[in-house]
Structure 1
Amino acid sequence: MNWDDLKFFLAVSRCGTISGAAKQFNVQHSTVSRRIKALEHSLGVSLLKRTNNAYELTVQGAKIEQAAKRMESEITCVDGMLVGKEDSLVGPLRITTISSMSSGILMPIFSSFCKTHPHIDLHVASTSEAVSLTNREADIAIRLTNTPPEMLIGKRVVTVASTIYGNIDYLKELSQTSEPFEWIGAKCCHFHDTWTKQSCKEKTHLFSSDDALTILSAVKAGLGVTFLPCFIGDAEPLLARYVEPKADFDLGLWVLIHPELKQNARVVAFKQHLIKAINNIRHTLEGC
């Protein structure tokens, strides 16, 4: 059994698509497909089945996935025993976070960290897609979630409030009529997509996007209302809250690392810097 084939299989099981796995490893779609077929041939079983536009695990695939995860964890531990002992504040540090945070509220924190530690090369990947710390695709993940992965260790730094925002003029016009809201379809993350579906009775949208910054631009342009984190909505002079934040829409801001990197000097330095900086702007994130 080829471990590289198993890595591609795990990527497809996590992403749900071959194209997503290919993007994760920076290879062609055909390469992933060929590796999956080779693995299925060597095992003599079918591991994946296509459902609509995604791939799901077969019964045998689910069994192999659990075994592959254990192998992945053991291999990472061997690597981590060496990497985790690096105590130098020199070299690369890879951070993954979401674009709506990295380009806004986190950028001053990144800037001050780089000035404090000029010999650490900070690499920031802004994506809402799953990035594997176990596969060493990143050293630290900064995520908005209430369900962080169990295989990682981390700290819930602060609670981030969200609520419904709209263009000020748009909300004023609607308040003078009985017309319903136009909801912007938010596909930027699971949480905002779910909240929108629960609140939007029509389930149809004149405008939809899977990018948080594009959604923000649509709200500012008066195309409708949507859920936004308060640290984004409150910072925009063209926008206003429709209602005050509710606890149902709270998300935890987590800083997550792989257990084997918990003593790594660069990881520890960034984690401490981030937590201190976030505490200084806690009121902004909590929507106060």
Structure 2
Amino acid sequence: MFDWQDLHYFSVLARTGSLSAAARELGVDHATVGRRVASLEQSLSLRLVDRLPRRSPLTAEGSAIAELAEEMARLSQAIDRRARGLTNAATATVRISAPPAVAARLIAPHVVEFHREHPDITLALAGASHNAALDRSEADVAVRMTRPTEQDLLIRRIGAIHFALYATREQAALPPETLAFIAYDSTLDHLTQQVWLRAILAGRPIIFQASDLFGQQEAARAGLGAAALPCFMGDNDPMLVKLDVQEPPPVRDIWLTAYPDVSRSLAMRTVMTFLADIIGRECPIRAP
């Protein structure tokens, strides 16, 4: 009989495509992944992967086993979610995934309030630019800025992020035609706020690009130019002022999502109510 842990390591390798990527996800070194996969191959008397310098493609036999392993992984994760939903333990840890700015500026400042009211629930907050894979148990509940498309998830719209153009008072006093801009890099041109920003440039330059909102805000605070920021960041920054723009600024909905099995637990329901309340208060769906 093969080792179930060996199969788990192989399943992650099959999905990620390389020893190094699998090792990062599993939190081990790549030699451990290689050793586990070799052990599974020995147990099954099959060669599952071709070991190339930069990747580990599956053999035909490996692809067949990987399909079954993926099914087993889904069942394992479903069992874990069901167990978390059934537990009524006095203490619990709930893992939350949210966009970095939402995590740092909307959720984290209110954690102290939550802890006072629910000291037995520990929040594990991850600010991530990618959507956490709830089906792989990367998080228990996720806050997202795009409507989730995965099947079987509970989905609730809990707020709306309103954007505006911000700069220092000195920059705001300059003639509009001399204004320079701060933006995301071109790989994020598809984002709603980036599309809007490019639409109002009118030939004016983007002189600095940053991959996250924190970098853009700091550059704007330094007087480099104007940046499109969420109002919950710009309005609360005493060094920035909102600029008048003819083109209406964008609005992005905020979604709360989790699996029904997980959300049955009292701790999860408590956390989801907390997230919906604080985000709905700070970023109401209808602008005040």
SS in 1 for 2:87: coil
* Contact 2:153-2:257 at 8 Å conserved across structures: yes
Letter in 2 for 1:251: R
Supply the distance in 1 between the matched residues of 2:40 and 2:172 (Cα, whole angstroms): 56
- Indicate the residue corresponding to 2:78 in structure 1: 77
Supply the distance in 1 between the matched residues of 2:68 and 2:107 (Cα, whole angstroms): 37
Task: Report the number of matched residues.
Answer: 274
Supply the distance in 1 between the matched residues of 2:31 and 2:197 (Cα, whole angstroms): 35
Query: How far is the alpha carbon of 1:184 from its aligned partner?
Result: 3.0
Query: How far is the alpha carbon of 1:6 from its aligned partner?
Result: 1.8
The aligned runs of 1:21-170 (5 Å cut-off) are 22-28=23-29, 42-43=47-48, 70-170=71-171
Question: TM (normalized to structure 1)?
Answer: 0.73
Larger Rg: 2
- Indicate the residue corresponding to 1:2 in structure 2: 7
SS in 1 for 2:11: helix
Query: How far is the alpha carbon of 1:131 from its aligned partner?
Result: 2.5
Query: How far is the alpha carbon of 1:182 from its aligned partner?
Result: 3.0
Q: 1:23 to 1:245 in 2, by over 3 A?
A: farther
Query: How far is the alpha carbon of 1:267 from its aligned partner?
Result: 0.6
SS in 2 for 1:96: strand
Query: How far is the alpha carbon of 1:43 from its aligned partner?
Result: 4.8
Q: Which 10-residue stretch deviates more, 27-36 or 71-80?
A: 27-36
- Indicate the residue corresponding to 2:210 in structure 1: 209
Query: How far is the alpha carbon of 1:141 from its aligned partner?
Result: 1.3
- What are structure 1's unaligned runs of at least 5 residues? 51-56
SS in 2 for 1:74: helix
1:59-83 Cα distance to aligned partner (Å, 9 max, x none): xx99999876554332211222222
Q: Which 10-residue stretch deviates more, 131-140 or 260-269?
A: 131-140
Query: How far is the alpha carbon of 1:225 from its aligned partner?
Result: 2.4
Query: How far is the alpha carbon of 1:269 from its aligned partner?
Result: 0.9
Supply the distance in 1 between the matched residues of 2:280 and 2:234 (Cα, whole angstroms): 20
Correspondence 1:191 to 2:191: yes
1:81-138 Cα distance to aligned partner (Å, 9 max, x none): 2222012341212112223122222234322211111111222122213422222222
* Contact 2:181-2:205 at 8 Å conserved across structures: no
Q: 1:242 to 1:260 in 2, by over 3 A?
A: same
Query: How far is the alpha carbon of 1:29 from its aligned partner?
Result: 5.8
SS in 2 for 1:161: strand
Query: How far is the alpha carbon of 1:9 from its aligned partner?
Result: 3.4
Query: How far is the alpha carbon of 1:162 from its aligned partner?
Result: 1.8
- Indicate the residue corresponding to 2:242 in structure 1: 240
- Indicate the residue corresponding to 2:3 in structure 1: none
Please give the root-mean-square deviation of Cα atoms over the aligned residues, in Å. 4.3
